[in-house]
Amino acid sequence: MRCGTRSIPNFVDWNDPMLLSIQDLHVSFRTGAEDGVVQRVEAVGRGPVGVSFDVPENTTVALVGESGSGKSVTAMSILNLLPVNAERSGRIDFEGRDLLKATLPELQTLRGREIACVFQDPMSSLNPVFTIGRQLCEPLQRHLGLGRREALERAEALLAEVQLPEPKRRLSSYPHELSGGQQQRVMIAMALACGPKLLIADEPTTALDVTIQRQILDLLARLKETHRMSMLFISHDLGVVGEIADEVVVMRQGTVRERGPVAGIFADPQDTYTRALLACRPALQQHHARLMTIDETRTQAPAAPKPKDPDAPVVLQVEKLSKGFWVRQGVFGRREFKAVKEANFTLRRGHTLGVVGESGSGKTTMGLTLLRLHDPTGGPEAGRVLFDGRDLLTLSSREMLPVRRRIQVVFQNPYASLNPRFPIGKTLVEPMAIHGIGGGTAEREALARGLLERVGLDASAMTKYPHEFSGGQRQRVAIARCLTLSPEVLVLDEAVSALDVSVQAQVLNLLKDLQDELGLAYIFISHDLAVVRFMADEVMVMKNGEVVEQASVDEVMNKPRQEYTRKLLDAVPRGHVVPG
């Protein structure tokens, strides 16, 4: 494969001096010593080939690639925000200064003042015990020397600039009192506090729903133009990159595979890896039977999905399902907050119901309620969930046990849903032992090895622990754990949102194959409408706990009836549209 370097686009003034120039960067991590020899793992750069690219003034350059490609390590090398066992070589010139030679005090002066960062998870970046105002004032007082009153006035202005509602009141709020999108706006305000020349945005919209993602992307683009700053934008989503970036650098396994203007990369990618990345992403406009993966080469158009049997047996009937939560009101009082309001749907064998909506719309609450995974004392439940002729909401805990093996759930975060102290073999064998599946340990272990092979992992995984696997592999283990009980229904709650686009394609194809092979019925909860388009037969759109639209996937995607649905569809990043 060759690296394609393209001509320069007209809309970027490349006569301006380079703000940042990375030349032949290598980053490795010391992993210990063996026989007196220090062992190292290469993270950026391979052999003599290092990573090189430039970021001109007032320009957005995007780093794209799979997890483990070296994107974040490259970006964090700029300000040396790496672990102590990291070793860097090459050059990182910022306004003519080689940052690899900068001392810690010099880097501390740059951090937040001239180069600022916005990370993926704002809640892990904000201090939970300090107010928003205090955290915003700290860089203003430290770097600009402002007094407390001046810093508070500037902090309020910054919150207003990032369009946070009621900015003065929010100064006294704590991070947990804000939504995810509001937290990310605070992080952007903190990054802009001292007027940096370069903003490093590391997956800043990955954890956000589609409408909040759209707002953050529009905000970043507007602020970049207002402040005339450059941005290094890190993402695995080429749809997002195509809308915000001027130049794209495609990375894989620590090396640059292709770089150039975003229009050229999207219109005519030269590297097979770039073409595969573009093909991995589900299309909002088309409905395919399978997604292309990184290691595949496709010589013909993808086949259309096979039609589902409209008269397949009904496995789950939900009627007027409602869920409320008690919230405190006053000193001794309480009131009910209705999170789900009279949801209705029918799920047939071999079919998929997609559930979409913004964060807080009630999607996950609906799924957990029908699974009886909410504490019943937390608030009232109403309606009926009919499975095999029985209403699940009326069953006792003992009566629910045999039902649980037939209705399983795959959660969003595979890192949190697997016990870190159990090897994978025990994770798979334990549910079979609880439910009396198999004639003994040997038979259960044989079944577990077969399931690992079915989800694309070999039998050697049995003795390994979760931390030894990538995110995609862990999610495969989570799916295999569900299959140990031969379920009829799977509730998939944002099951692929934490995965990069290539691994996501592998897991989605796997779910489709298992559905065809085993006749599984899916409730597929997601904020990603393109993924829902690929997976679902019917779509249910939720807003503020209510179902506002429900129809076949083609009807909802092509002819939405509700303005809210059209708003969701309009917010989906579609990448760079090449004119002509």
Domains and CATH numbers, the chain: 41-110+198-205+224-281 (3.40.50.300), 115-193 (no CATH), 347-378+386-570 (3.40.50.300)
Pairing of strands 390-391, 381-387: antiparallel
Amino acid 10: pLDDT: 35
Question: Low-confidence residues of the chain, pLDDT below 50?
Answer: 1-14, 299-300, 577-580
Q: For the segment 325-363, what is each residue's pLDDT rounded down to a tens digit?
A: 988 887 788 888 899 999 999 999 999 999 999 887 889
Report the distance separating Cα 84 and Cα 423, nearest Å: 29
Report the distance separating Cα 520 and Cα 447, nearest Å: 19
Amino acid 193: pLDDT: 87
Amino acid 579: pLDDT: 36
- Amino acid, res. 278: L
Angstrom distances, CA of residue 413 to CA of 417, 470, 472, 577:
6, 12, 10, 33
The DSSP string of 189-244 is HHHHTT--SEEEEESTTTTS-HHHHHHHHHHHHHHHHHHT-EEEEEES-HHHHHHH
Report the distance separating Cα 265 and Cα 573, nearest Å: 16
CA atoms within 13 A on the CB side of 501: 29
Q: For the segment 238-277, what is each residue's pLDDT rounded down to a tens digit?
A: 778 888 899 999 999 899 999 999 988 888 889 988 888 8
Amino acid 97: pLDDT: 92
Dihedral pair phi/psi, residue 380, rounded to 5°? -75, 150
The DSSP string of 453-486 is HHTT--GGGGG--GGGS-HHHHHHHHHHHHHTT-
Amino acid 5: pLDDT: 41
pTM, full prediction: 0.80
Amino acid 302: pLDDT: 56
Report which of 62, 86, 84 is spatially closest to residue 73, judged by C-alpha positions: 86
Amino acid 31: pLDDT: 85
Angstrom distances, CA of residue 517 to CA of 10, 164, 396:
52, 49, 32
Amino acid 312: pLDDT: 93
As given in the structure block, the two tokens for residue 373 are 């995974």
Buried b / exposed e along 413-450 (16+ C-beta atoms within 10 A) = bbeebbeeeebbbbbbbbbbeebebbeeeeebbebbbe
